[in-house]
Amino acid sequence: MNEKEHDELLDLANDHAEGELSEPQRQRLDDWLQADEGARRIFADFMHDHAALYWDQVSETPADVIDFPASSVLTRLNGVWGIAAAVLVFAAVLFFNMERSGEDSTFATMEKTRAAKWESGNLPTAEGARLGEGSLRLAEGLATLRFDSGAEVVLEAPVEIQLVDQMNCVLTRGTAVAEVPESAFGFQIATPTANVVDYGTRFAVNVDSNSGATETQVFEGVVEVEHPMSNETVRLEAGQRNYVAGDEVSEASSVPEEGDWAQSLPVLRRGSDWTMVPTAKDAYVMSYLLKEHNSEELLLVKNSGTKKGPSRKAYLGFELGSLNLDELAEAELILHFDPTGWGLASHVPDSEFTVFGLKEAGLDGWSKVTMTWENAPANVLGHGAHLQSDAVEKLGTFRIEQGVARGAFGISGSALVEFLQAQTDEVATLIVVRTTEEELPGGLVHGFASRRHPFLPPPMLSLRVAE
Amino acid sequence: MTDTDPNDRTEAFLRLLAEHERKLGLYVTGLIASPQDAQDVLQEGKVIMWRNFDQFELGTNFPAWARKILFHQILAYRRRSKRQPFQLSERTLELLSEESESAIRERRWVNREKALQQCLLKLTEEHRDVVQMRYRDEASIEKIARRFEKTEGAVYRLLSRLRKNLYQCVEQQTQPSS
C-alpha cells in the first residue's frame, strides 16, 4: 500500500468512525477491506484507537495521565448492570492491572488421555493439566488437547507437537485431528512443510516423520494450506485433501473413488518375515437405509440390538491366493478406527467387537455394489450383531473404551491363523460386528477405515510365515 | 457447574464481566464505530451472557466466549438498524472480527492502548480538549464548534487530522525499536 492509499484508508476509517460515509465510500471501503488483509489490520487498529479514546478516558485511564471527574465513571457503565458493575469497578481495575503485569502463561488443557504413554517433552501430561508453551511427545494412545481459543486437537500416537499459543501449534510428526469452533477461526497447525490454517471445521493433518511431508484432509468446513517455500496457498473444502512435500504442493483433490485408490495399495512388508495384506474388497451392510449416515471411506459398525435402529455389520475380503499359508505362524487383523461424527461418543459405553470368519467358500463371492442387509452372507436380519452360527466361526474380540473413536484395534491368535489356513478358495471373508448394544437409540456409530480411506491404512492382515 | 451455589455463579459472572467489560466494549466499538450504539449492543450482549451463563464453563476463556455472543448481537443490530445501508457488510464484519481476534491474541492492542495515552499527552492542550469533548463528554461536532468558535467543517477536519496523527504516533511507538 502506497502512502496515498494509506491516507485514503485512514480518511475512510475516520468518516466511518464519525458515521459519515457516503454510499460510494462505504462500498469502496467494504470491497477494500474484504480484499486486502493489510488494509483490515490498519483499519482495525485505527478503529481500536477510536474505541480506546471513548472507553479509556473514562474507566481505566490512570488518573495522573488524564484528569477526569470521578462521577463520569458511571457514564460508561449504566443500565441493568450499572449498580453491580459499579460496585465491582474497583475490582475490575485491580484485575486489569494484574492481567497487564503477570498474565497466566498457560493457554491449553490436557483434556483427555486414553492408554497414553508419553515420551520426553517438557509439559505436564496428566488429565486436566494446564499447558503453556512447550512440547509433547505421545508414544502410544490418544490425547485430547483443548486450547483456550476453543480449538480441540486430538493427537494420535506416535506424534510430536509443540504448543505455541492458543491459536498455534507445530506438528513435527504424526497425526493430529483438529476440531475448530467459530471462536478459534484462524487456528493454525504448522508442519515442517506447510501451514494449515483452519476456518471453522474438522480436519486431519499427518506429517511423515522422515520427509516432513504433510497430508491434510478436511471433513467439514474450509482449510487453507499455505506452502511457505512457494508462497502458494491451497484452499481445501469438505471432502478434499492435499499433499505437500518439499517444494511440491498438490492441488486440492476429492477423496478418491473406489477404483484409483485401490491401485495405490501395495502389499506392505513389516520386517522381512511379515506380509501385510490389505482388503481386496470391503463393505458394510445396514439394516435400513439412512441416506445421510453413509460413508465410502469408513466401514460402519453399529448394534441397535433387535430395535429398529440402523444396525451395521462390516465385511472384509482378503485375497490370499498368492501366499503360501501352510507355514503361517502368526496372524493379526488391524483396523484403523476414526470418528464417524454420528452419535455422542461420551454417551456410549465401552464396546466389544467380534470378528467372525465366513466358513463356507461358496459365500465369498459377495460384492460391495450388490450386497445388502438381506443378501449379506450369514446375516441374521433381526439382530444388530448376530450371524448364522453354522456359517461362521468366531475368531476373536477386541474392546474399545468409552469415548475413544480413533486408533488401531484388531485381533490375533491361533483361531485366526487356523481359519486363514483352512480357506481353500483363495478369498477369506471376515465379518466385524459390535457385540455391545447401544443403551439408548441414536448411539455412537463406530467406523474404521475402508480401502477407500484417503489416508488411514485399509483393514489389514499382518501375516508371519515361518521360515 | 450445575451443582454450584447460584450465588457463587452470580458472583463469578459479575467478576468476569467486571474484569473484561472494558475490553468487550472496545471490541464492539471497534466493529460498529458508534460508541453509543456499541453501548446498547454491549448492554444487550450482557443480558444474553447472563441468560446463557450456565453454558459457560468456568475456567475457560470468558472473553472469547463473550465476544462470540457479542458478534452475533452486532450482526443482529446491523440487520435491524435503520442506518444499515451505510454500514459495513456482514462478510467484512466477520473478517474484521477475525482481525480483532488475532490482535487480541498477539496482545497488539494492549500495547496500542498504552501508547495512545502517551500520544494524547503530546497533543496541544486545545487539541486534547477537542478530543476529550468528542469522546469523554460525547459532545456533538456542533457543540464543539460553538465552544471553540469554529465552523463545524473545521472541527470535523480537525478531529479527522487528530485521529490520524494519533494513529501514526501509536504506530511509531509500538514499532519494535530498531
> Tell me, what's the pLDDT at A271?
54
Does the beta-carbon distance from B25 to A68 stay under 8 Å? no
pLDDT for A338:
85
Say if A200 is an interface residue toward chain B (CB within 8 Å).
no
Closest-CA distance of chain A to residue B68, Å: 6
Instruction: Note whether A66 contacts B101, CB cutoff 8 Å.
Output: no
Does the beta carbon of B63 lie under 8 angstroms from any beta carbon of chain A?
no
The mean per-residue pLDDT over the stretch B144-162 comes to 92
Measure CB to CB from residue A10 to each of B26, B39, B167 and give the nearest one.
B167
Could you please report the per-residue DSSP string of B56-110? Answer: S-TTS-HHHHHHHHHHHHHHHHHHH-TTGGGSPPHHHHHHHHHHHHHHHHTTHHH
pLDDT tens per residue, range A274-284 = 788 889 999 99
More confident residue, A325 or B156: B156
Name residue A371's amino acid.
M
Q: Does any CB of chain B come closer than 8 Å to the CB of residue A129?
A: no
* pLDDT score, position A4: 92
- The pLDDT of residue A213 is above 90: no
Give residue-wise pLDDT tens across range B84-103.
Answer: 556 898 899 999 999 999 99
Mean pLDDT of chain A: 79
Q: Does B173 touch chain A (CB under 8 A)?
A: no
Q: What is the pLDDT of residue A266?
A: 33
Q: Which residues of B touch A65 (CB under 8 A)?
A: 117, 120-121
C-beta separation of A191 from A198 below 8 A: no
For testing the chain B interface, which of A4, A6, A16, A49 should be mutated: the one with the most B CBs within 10 Å? A49
- How high is the pLDDT of residue B98? 94
Which A residues, 132 through 171, put their C-beta within 8 Å of a C-beta on chain B? 148-150, 165-167
Q: Do B159 and A43 touch (CB under 8 A)?
A: no
- Alpha carbon of B178: minimum distance to chain A alpha carbons (Å): 21
CB contact under 8 A, A16 and B88: yes
Q: Which residues pair with A240 in a beta bridge?
A: A254
Q: Which residues of A touch B95 (CB under 8 A)?
A: 33-34, 40
Distance CA A415, CA A354 (A): 13
User: A-contacting residues of B 34-53, CB under 8 Å?
Assistant: 34-35, 38-39, 43, 46-47
CB contacts, 8 Å: B171 with chain A: 45
Q: Rounded mean pLDDT of A18-32?
A: 91
The answer to whether the bond into A459 is cis (omega within 30° of 0) is no
**A348-378 tens-digit pLDDT:** 678 899 999 999 878 888 998 889 999 999 9
Top-ranked range on mean pLDDT: pick from A77-81, A133-137, A195-199, B156-160: B156-160
Which of A81, A88, A165 is facing B46, going by the closest CB pair?
A: A81
This prediction's pTM = 0.41
State whether A51 and B88 contact (CB < 8 Å): no
Give A239 to chain B, closest Cα distance, Å.
24
Q: How far is B9 from chain A (nearest CA, A)?
A: 14
Q: C-alpha cell of A205?
A: 493433518
Q: What pLDDT sits at residue A263? A: 26
Question: Looking at the partner chain, which of A57, A92, A185 has a beta carbon nearest the beta carbon of B132?
Answer: A57
pLDDT at A79 over 90: no
Asked casually if ipTM beats, i.e. exceeds, 0.85, the reply is yes
